[in-house]
Amino acid sequence: MSSGRGEAGSFWDLAANGRLAGRHPGFRQRAEELAEHEGCESRANLLRCMGIRRVSIEMRRYQLILLVALLAAVAGWARPDGEGEDASRIAFVSNRDGDFEIYVADTRGNVQRNLTNNRGDDWLFDWSSSVQREDGCAFLLGADGSKIVFTSDRDGDDEIYVMDSDGANVQRLTNDPADDYTPSWSPDGSKVVFVSERDGNQEIYLMNSDGSRQCRLTDNAVNDSEPRWSPDGSKIAFESYRDGNWEICLINSDGTGERDLSNCPALDGMPVWCPDGKRMAFVSWREGGPRIYIMDADGGNVVGLTRAPAWEWSPAWSPDGRQIAFVSNEHGNDAIYVMNADGSERIRLTSVPVNEREPHWSADGSRIAFQSLADAQFDTCVINSDGTHAVRITDNQADDLYPCWSPF
């Protein structure tokens, strides 16, 4: 799957994922660029560069036994307590049924439902109302919490669909021979921005939430992708390859005022709006490896928040804008961290010796969902925002990816 952006629908995760890199020209381009940047000669080596290591079937039994013993020894994981269904829900993508489907679970893991349930892949997900997913849009909940917009190839190519939040009343919004994907609902729920290849390359498009009045916002000979709405819905940040490398650009939601914000020779990506709309966090290679920066919404006052030599990415603002969760390999494996929005008081939340990615805050800011490679497959997990009480929500021999809290 997407991250995208390792999985994740993000810049770096999309580039690192072999399956997605093979599906779209833009993803292949990103993978090839990243491979060249890191000296990787093949996609397999690229996956190793990004820290994604698939173990052989023969090794899985041994790894599982070893990890269970290790995790028990360090008390890194708890099983969900209680019975019945928790009111809080987490959406995620899983391939447990042979293809990628959108699931929803309560935070005890006791109730897990397949919402899409078809033979195609349903993927690139997010779930949001007024606070947007930090690593791009895969599926999004409407502003009133009643609808989900998502990408599916159930009809032969990637198109955008909408359904009720319980999986009922699926409707197709786009219908074009080219691929349409990464939909993102405007904060007021009236429009959906998405990426389409109908003009021969990736461009940013906009449509009403019922699929009507589809129009192109960007018009370039190179790829524009990963659109993110500003919190007030007036602007859209996106990634563009127009200057020969990936830059963060901004456009008004009516298609006017397009401009380059990051304007740097290095790769810049993964723009994430602060909830107040005044700042963005993003990831840049300008100091030799992916690290997290912050800038004003107009591109000014760029400040580096994280440090070398670690690779650090997937920034996620807390709902109050005071903290940023992120991923770092500072101690060898990918782990979940939090820091203040100025980069101070950096804290490692997860400490088990496996790769953990895709942090996503709960609506009240008290917990963070993430994915963990604890038993040779990614599982969906939850931890308190102070690092206590880590809980594995899913536990099966499939990948459960891109966890995202419901907004209510």
**Domain map (residue ranges) of the chain:** 11-405
Phi/psi at 243 (5° precision): -105, 20
pTM: 0.81
| Full pLDDT tens readout for the chain, 408 residues | 333 333 333 344 444 343 333 334 444 444 444 444 444 433 333 333 333 322 222 233 333 333 333 333 333 555 555 444 455 788 889 999 889 999 988 888 878 999 999 888 986 655 545 444 443 334 455 555 678 889 999 999 999 999 888 899 999 999 999 999 999 989 888 899 999 999 999 999 999 999 999 999 999 899 999 999 999 999 999 999 988 889 999 999 999 999 999 999 999 999 999 999 999 999 999 988 899 999 999 999 999 998 778 999 999 999 999 999 999 999 889 999 999 999 999 999 998 899 999 999 998 999 999 999 977 899 999 999 999 999 999 998 899 998 888 776
For residue 333 the two structure tokens come to 């494996």
Side-chain-side CA neighbours of 145 within 13 Å: the count stands at: 6
CB atoms closer than 10 angstroms to residue 57: 7
Nearest Cα residue to 371 out of 95, 169, 170: 95
Q: What's residue 131's pLDDT?
A: 40
Residue 240: phi, psi to the nearest 5?
-140, 145
CATH of range 11-405; options 3.40.50.300, 3.40.50.280, 3.40.50.1820, 2.120.10.30: 2.120.10.30
Q: In this predicted structure, what is the pLDDT of residue 284?
A: 95
Length of the chain in terms of residues written: 408
CA separation for the pair 159, 154 (Å, rounded): 8
Residue with tokens 């198109």: 159
Residue 384 confidence (pLDDT): 96
Element (H, E) at 401: strand 400-405
Cβ contact 3:402 at 8 Å: yes
Q: In Å, what is the CA distance from 109 to each residue of 80, 92, 365, 391?
A: 7, 12, 20, 9
- If one counts every other C-beta atom within 10 angstroms of the C-beta of residue 386, the result is 12
Please, is 51 exposed, middle or buried when counting C-beta atoms within 10 Å of its C-beta (0-12, 13-18, 19+)?
middle
Q: Which two tokens stand for residue 53?
A: 């290591």
Q: What are phi and psi of 218, to 5 degrees?
A: -110, 155
Nearest CA among 134, 186, 140, 195 for reference residue 162: 140
The answer to whether 401 and 93 are in contact (CB under 8 A) is yes
369 touches 403 (CB < 8 A): yes
What is the predicted pLDDT for the residue at 81?
Answer: 53
Give me the sheet containing 335-340, strands edge to edge.
Answer: 312-317, 323-328, 335-340, 347-348
What gap in Å lies between CA 238 and CA 228, rounded to an integer? Answer: 6
Is 202 within 8 Å of 245 (Cβ atoms)?
Answer: no
Give the burial class of 333: count Cβ atoms within 10 A of its Cβ; 0-12 exposed, 13-18 middle, 19 or more buried. middle
Decide: 280 and 301 in contact? Cβ < 8 Å. no
